[in-house]
Amino acid sequence: MKGRPDKRLRGFGLPPLPDGLGEASLLAAREALSAAPPSDVWTRLVCSRTARLAWAACVALLFFLHLALPGRAGQERPASPGSPPLDPEVGAVATLPRIDERALVPYSGAPS
Amino acid sequence: MSRARTVVLLALAAVVLLAAGLAVRLALRPIPGADRPAPKPLARLTEPPSAGNVPGPARAGALRVPCWGCSPEADAWPVRFRTDLDLLAPLGDGPGNAALWLKDFTPEVGARAAEAKEAMSRRVDGPGEWGRILPPSDPLLGEAEPWTTQATMRFYPEVFPIDGGATRLPNLLLCITLGRSWGARAAASPNAPSAFEDGRRAVRLGRLLRQDDESIVQDLVGLACIRMGAEALYEVAVHRGDHDLALAAAIVLGEHAPQRLRTAQQVTSISIQPRDGSRVTSGGKVEKIVSTARAGTDRRFRQEAIFQLALVRVFAGSSGVRAAETALDDLSRDPDPLVAAAARWSRTIDPAFLGEQPYAGDLAKKPAVDRIFGRLALRFPMLRGLLPGS
């Protein structure tokens, strides 16, 4: 029963690679890669280091401007301290009828 | 929705929210100069007036009735009486400035504002259609009489500074009441020795009020006082058979309505808010306002045009704003100090402040969202036309 296995397996060695198998495999891989769907714009934006830096800078700048802006938003302004409104009696004298400019037709007739 | 798309949209939304919040805070921020201190009370005049001499009226020669509607050169006439008012009531030669007395009755700041209010409560119904007048023996009428013998009444800039839309006016209700009371007293008692003088006081008060030629309102009140005095003089003259004076008064009265209409015409032609309430800054309107501001026939119309140029700065497009600011730069160096002061105000006033004043329109009455858009348009002229409602 004892025997030398290498002698018994002699003749069962790996067969040589077929010619051109390597080139064919690489070609197929290249074709498969080119046939795959491209990454969309959203993915590219998310993955873009430049875009992420620009966004971060933008947000930082806006935060800074918010902090730098003095005053409280929505603050009401005081009324103008000008002259008080005209008394109705004065208004009756000082209020002039508005004239429709389209009605200002030059008078061309002789004095009557 | 892909995860990448969600992340990008959220990031963009954050930027947009921050930017919009910043824009709103910029639009709503307090305006420098708007929070001005309350005006200081004016010092009371304590010196009694030096009564001036008032000459008698000139005798009327051959009177001509000026035709405001048909004279070819009427468009170039200043809006002033063409008839010599010395025919009715020459001014006195008193050396004082009657404005120094009247300013004490100015609402809010006058030392005697409360007295003026009290005097208005003493008014009674006058005869005929004279309206509310002071009683004939009211002490305020007596106190005012010597002031109508002065040669001068100048409020600007000695009493009140030029402050654009906030320029202070004297107590015009008191002025109307004085003119009306003297006129009514004369008309009610045409045989009284003081009847002519009462009518002339009203005319002289009107002439004095028109000396400033600064504000249209004050000028119209002066014009009304002249009308009331002329009406009284006409009635007294007819009653006494003085036909020359009656004719002169009638001609003066005939010039009252044309001056009001010419004033209305001038105001309409230079207003960027015509009768329908819309705003007009195109179609030659800005050019008309600029030409009036530079060379109007009367200073009050120049001042009104200069104020309208401030509104043009607020509401017009870029070419209109440029034209307005160029004109205001020139007018800021005008030899007339009142015109120059008004131009400097219109040139430097913050458009956002001006845009929310009552005289600039109804922006303040708009809903909150429109107000924010409106304020953004006022703050950032380049956004005008892009924002809704601006």
Q: How far is A46 from chain B (nearest CA, A)?
A: 6
Does the residue A9 lie in any domain?
no
- Cα B173 to Cα A6, B133, B169, distances in angstroms: 131, 11, 11
The pLDDT, as a whole number, for residue B97 is 95
Domain range for residue A48? Answer: 25-67
ipTM over 0.90: no
Query: Which of A55, A62, A77 is facing B30, going by the closest CB pair?
Result: A77
Q: How far is B325 from chain A (nearest CA, A)?
A: 23
| B-contacting residues in A 47-86 (Cβ below 8 Å) | 55, 58-59, 62-63, 65-66, 69-71, 73-75, 77-78, 80-84, 86
Domain boundaries, chain B: 83-254, 272-383
Tens of pLDDT, residues B282-324: 668 899 999 999 999 999 999 999 999 988 887 777 788 889 9
Instruction: Report the range out of A63-77, A88-102, B105-119 with the highest average pLDDT.
Output: B105-119
Query: Which of B8, B38, B167 is facing A45, going by the closest CB pair?
Result: B8
The pLDDT, as a whole number, for residue B277 is 55
- Cα A3 to Cα A8, A10, A12, B329, B335, distances in angstroms: 8, 13, 17, 117, 130
- Cα B79 to Cα A21, B23, B210, B213, B297, distances in angstroms: 107, 48, 11, 10, 8
Query: Which of B15, B34, B169 is facing A58, going by the closest CB pair?
Result: B15
Q: Which residues of A touch B224 (CB under 8 A)?
A: 93
Angstrom distance (rounded) from CA B290 to CA B20: 37
The answer to whether B339 touches B306, Cβ cutoff 8 Å, is: yes
Would you say residue B34 has pLDDT above 80?
no
Kind and range of the H or E run holding B27: helix B3-28
The answer to whether B311 touches B272, Cβ cutoff 8 Å, is: yes
Tens of pLDDT, residues B19-28: 998 888 877 7
Query: Which of A59, A74, A80 is facing B166, going by the closest CB pair?
Result: A80
For A101-105, what is the mean pLDDT? Answer: 58
Does the residue A2 lie in any domain?
no
Q: Which residues of A touch B28 (CB under 8 A)?
A: 73-75
- What confidence category does residue B383 fall into, taking pLDDT thresholds of 50, 70 and 90? low
Does the residue A16 lie in any domain?
no
Interface contact flag, B24 A73, Cβ < 8 Å: yes
Tens of pLDDT, residues B181-209: 999 999 999 999 999 999 999 999 999 99
The pLDDT, as a whole number, for residue B365 is 47
Tens of pLDDT, residues B274-286: 555 556 666 688 9
Work out the angle at residue B160's Cα, subtended by the Cα atoms of residues B158 and B166, and round it to the nearest 5 degrees.
Answer: 155
Nearest CA in chain B to A95: B217
- The domain tally of chain A equals 1
Tens of pLDDT, residues A27-42: 999 988 887 777 788 8
The pLDDT, as a whole number, for residue A81 is 40
Interface contact flag, A107 B19, Cβ < 8 Å: no
